[in-house]
Chain A
Amino acid sequence: MIARYSLRFGALGYLAFLLLVPVGLVFYRTFEHGFQPAWDAVTNPQALHALWLTLLIAAIAVPANTLFGVVLAIALVRHRFPGRGLVNAIVDLPLALSPVVVGFSLYLLYGTGGWLGGLSDHGIKILFALPGMTLATIFVSLPFVVREVVPVLREIGTDQEQAAETLGAAPFTTFRRITLPAIRWAVCYGVVLTTARVIGEFGAVSIVSGRIEGKTETLPLYVQSQFEGFNTTGAFAASVVLALIALATVLAMRMFRPREGVG
């Protein structure tokens, strides 16, 4: 009995000390001087631009990774082809690789002297602009939809798909009427995870963006620049916006998680 209680309070105390207290503090520090300064700090043009840029990148990266994530999952589970194991490994790589390395690789590829560095001579600006930041974000958030959809595709098997085909359904109809309804919750969960990662991405974007204030600064970059500029109110107010998005994400994760993790 004592062992059980000490384990329970040890585990919960650790969670509180490491997770809850810090997140609670963001809200406390932001609103300790009242609501108005915090509101002013997130509605100034620079902060609003950062928020808008963050949402714009999310609006490109999330659909791209959802669409290609589903295609990748189908290719990995339903088709055998040479190099399938390799593709499988590459899909996981962004989970294990430092975002700084991701950002730097893009920096080398599209920078001066890089293989695709010539694009900027033709007026196509990738680095220190929206395309580079979007590419970096897509890279780091690539695995989430694939990783959620693959096990579900495996579990549902191919019986129904084959039945549909036998009854004369065209391949795309089979996908739309049979496969898609079966994987839709996994796709939703993957989208939630992707969105969280995309909105919070810092390391990769900080390398490729050049951090030009009011131009290539996303909300996480804004938090850092405000903090380093000793505007802690601004940094915390922007953090609250990001923390609220994170809390909404956690709630959405609870809703979409395929199986409840609590016994």
Chain B
Amino acid sequence: MASSPAVSVPAPGVVLGRAGGALARGIAVCYLSLIVLVPLAALIWSSRSQGIQSFWDEVTKPEALAALKLTLGAALLVAAFNAVTGTAIAWVLVRDSFRGKGFFNAVIDLPFALPTIVAGLVLLELYGPNSPFGVDVAFQRTGLVLALLFVTLPFVVRAVQPVLLELDREMEEAAESLGAGRIAVFRRIVFPNLLPAILSGVALAFARAVGEFGAVVLISGNVPFKTEVSSVYIAGQIESDNPAGAAAVSVVLLLISLGVLLLIGAFRHWRTRHDR
């Protein structure tokens, strides 16, 4: 029984054999449990043991709620902005040709590689009180959004780029030869093909923006009700010794992350169905 490559259904385990396979599974599950599951279970347990009422009270405290609203609002804004700019950048990097394209392509990965606290520090220096351009957005929501745009930049670009590269140009050429304008070609041919990739990238960018801490902690100034996001609120609650408050908001963030992952799984499913 020869199995064809690139099929998602795995053939019976050959690597490591049957006993080795069980061992690999065992190790994998133990490692994941030890590193990821047990700590998260401790988090859920600790917020659960406070009782539902106290959990709800902590989440709906005015300061916690304001932080949560700001976090979600900023993350939505940043994700939507990335959908447009990320697609545009991917388009320029794939379809356009100019000197230094390789350089700009490499630069996209910078926010993945640069430590978030360094990103926060330079953005504060550049667009804060000492700004050489005279732009001061520090301790304002604009500064917060700017920091989030920096750290989330690669997600949509890197999700769209490979799909755009593999997109069949013949479809576009056929549409053009039939008299479709450039905008019509993009809207009717290119965009529908890119949409699942754009949405996965946007979802990852959204999740990242919801949880970001290092890049925003300096430039946002963490003013309650104004620029304090949930992750900073959690850190503050830990420092002021209110673990119940920190746990409640943490559980909300955990649920948001799980929801986003479910969505990405659905987009992935959608994309593979499109391929067939």
Contact = CB atoms under 8 A, between A and B. Distances in A.
A108 B113 contact: no
Size category of the binding interface on chain B: 35 or more
A96 B105 contact: no
Contacts of A18: 146, 149-150, 153
A79 B10 contact: yes
Given A79-B10, A96-B261, A261-B165, A14 B85 contact: yes
Contacts of B231: 98-101, 203
A242 B204 contact: no
B43 interface: yes
Contacts of B110: 19, 23, 246, 250
A96 B205 CA distance: 9
A107 B238 contact: yes
Interface stretch (B95-103, B136-144, B170-178): B95-103
A243 B260 CA distance: 30
A78 B11 contact: yes
B36 A94 contact: yes
Nearest to A223: B117
A236 B92 CA distance: 33
B183 to A, nearest CB: 10
B193 interface: no
A263 B243 contact: no
B109 A253 contact: yes
A227 interface: yes
Contacts of B262: 89
A170 to B, nearest CB: 8
A75 B150 contact: no
Given A98-B212, A200-B114, A87 B104 contact: no
Contact of B234 (A89, A101, A164, A219): A101
A239 B258 CA distance: 33
Nearest to B34: A135
A138 B189 CA distance: 42
Contacts of A236: 121
A58 interface: no
A249 to B, nearest CB: 4
B35 A138 contact: yes
A243 B40 CA distance: 32
B36 A93 contact: yes
B13 interface: yes
B192 interface: no
A242 B122 CA distance: 12
B114 A101 contact: no
B214 A74 contact: no
Interface in A191-220: 193, 196-197, 199-203, 206-207, 219-220
Interface string B107-128: 1111111111111011101100
Contacts of B158: 261
**Chain B interface mostly:** helix
Nearest to B233: A100
A251 B229 CA distance: 33
Interface in A229-263: 235-236, 239, 242-243, 245-247, 249-251, 253-254, 259, 261-263
User: In the complex, which of the residues A104, A250, A263 has the most CB atoms of chain B within 10 Å of its own CB atom?
Assistant: A104
B180 interface: no
A106 B232 CA distance: 17
A224 to B, nearest CB: 6
Contact of B118 (A91, A115, A206, A239): A239
B214 A25 contact: no
A157 B7 contact: yes
A174 interface: yes
B54 interface: no
A15 B35 CA distance: 36
Interface in B77-104: 85, 88-89, 91-96, 98, 101-102, 104
A197 B235 CA distance: 20
Given A11-B91, A155-B6, 14 more contacts: A7-B96, A8-B92, A22-B150, A75-B25, A78-B10, A79-B13, A87-B28, A91-B32, A95-B208, A97-B207, A200-B214, A201-B115, A221-B117, A227-B121
Q: Nearest 6 CB-CB pairs, A to B?
A: A98-B211, A200-B115, A157-B5, A171-B17, A203-B213, A202-B214
Interface of A: 3-4, 7-8, 10-12, 14-15, 18-23, 25-26, 29, 68, 71-72, 74-81, 83, 87, 89-102, 104-109, 114-115, 135, 138-139, 142, 154-159, 161-162, 164-165, 170-172, 174-175, 178-179, 193, 196-197, 199-203, 206-207, 219-221, 223-224, 227, 235-236, 239, 242-243, 245-247, 249-251, 253-254, 259, 261-263
19 contacts: A22-B150, A75-B28, A78-B13, A80-B10, A87-B32, A89-B262, A89-B265, A95-B207, A102-B39, A105-B250, A135-B35, A155-B5, A170-B17, A179-B15, A199-B115, A206-B235, A223-B117, A262-B94, A263-B165
